[in-house]
Amino acid sequence: MIIKNKLGAEKILSIYWFAILVIIAGAVVAMVSLFYGTPYDVRDAEANIMINQVSNCLSENGKLNQELFNEDKNFNEDYNLKEKCNLIFETEFKNEREEYFLEVDFYDLNNSPNGVSSGVKIFSISEGNLNLYADCKIENEKYKKLSKCIDREFYSLDSSDNVFKIKITSVVRKTEKNAK
């Protein structure tokens, strides 16, 4: 009688053991699939590289590029940022819209009114899909994956040694390739 009960208990134990193995295997497969199924998000790196490229083309050795100014020493409204900085925003992906937005703001630090140490915005250039800029303003965590926005600033001089603060905003969407 005792032997029979012991055998029954062992059978039940082995079923439980088998169930535990299946649960562990399922959990491991689910975790691994989730980990490797999520694409690598490289948009931060991409946006930072774009800012580096634009800053290198706008300013060299601490001096602003002379092509940014017209003959009257005012900012050139016709400055083509994409062409001058070797940028191409159109892609040959199927069903893909423009995935980048770039904005460069110039702040004059010489003629700032009292109390405004960050300067006054005197000129701005933008390129790409303006609609993406709205994604940067969304605070909701759920929508934060839409686009990656990076802001960086640097200082530079013009030919008359006037100091300017240049703020570059780079936005990269590419959500399908970088987020799940």
* Binding footprint of other proteins on the chain (CB under 8 A): 21, 25, 28-29, 32-33, 36, 39-40, 42, 45-46, 49-50, 52-53, 82, 86-93, 99-100, 174, 177
Residues 6+ apart with CB under 8 A from 87: 50, 53, 54, 81, 100, 102, 127
Tell me the two tokens of residue 136: 């940067």
Q: Which C-beta is closer to other proteins: that of 21 or that of 134?
A: 21
State the nearest-atom distance from the C-beta of 37 to other proteins, in Å: 9
Backbone angles phi, psi at 162, to 5 degrees: -80, 140
Q: Which C-beta is closer to other proteins: that of 57 or that of 136?
A: 57
State the nearest-atom distance from the C-beta of 107 to other proteins, in Å: 25
Radius of gyration of the chain (CA): 28
Amino acid at residue number 117: S
State the nearest-atom distance from the C-beta of 80 to other proteins, in Å: 12
Q: How far apart are CA 33 and CA 36, in angstroms?
A: 5
Q: In 3-state terms, what secondary structure has residue 139?
A: coil
State the nearest-atom distance from the C-beta of 87 to other proteins, in Å: 6
Q: Which C-beta is closer to other proteins: that of 29 or that of 130?
A: 29
State the nearest-atom distance from the C-beta of 151 to other proteins, in Å: 18
Q: How far apart are CA 172 and CA 98, in angstroms?
A: 9
State the nearest-atom distance from the C-beta of 23 to other proteins, in Å: 12
The per-residue b/e assignment along 70-79, b for 16 or more CB within 10 angstroms, e otherwise, is eeeeebbeeb
Q: Which C-beta is closer to other proteins: that of 120 or that of 136?
A: 136
CB 107 within 8 A of CB 119: yes
Q: Which C-beta is closer to other proteins: that of 33 or that of 74?
A: 33
Q: Which C-beta is closer to other proteins: that of 43 or that of 165?
A: 43
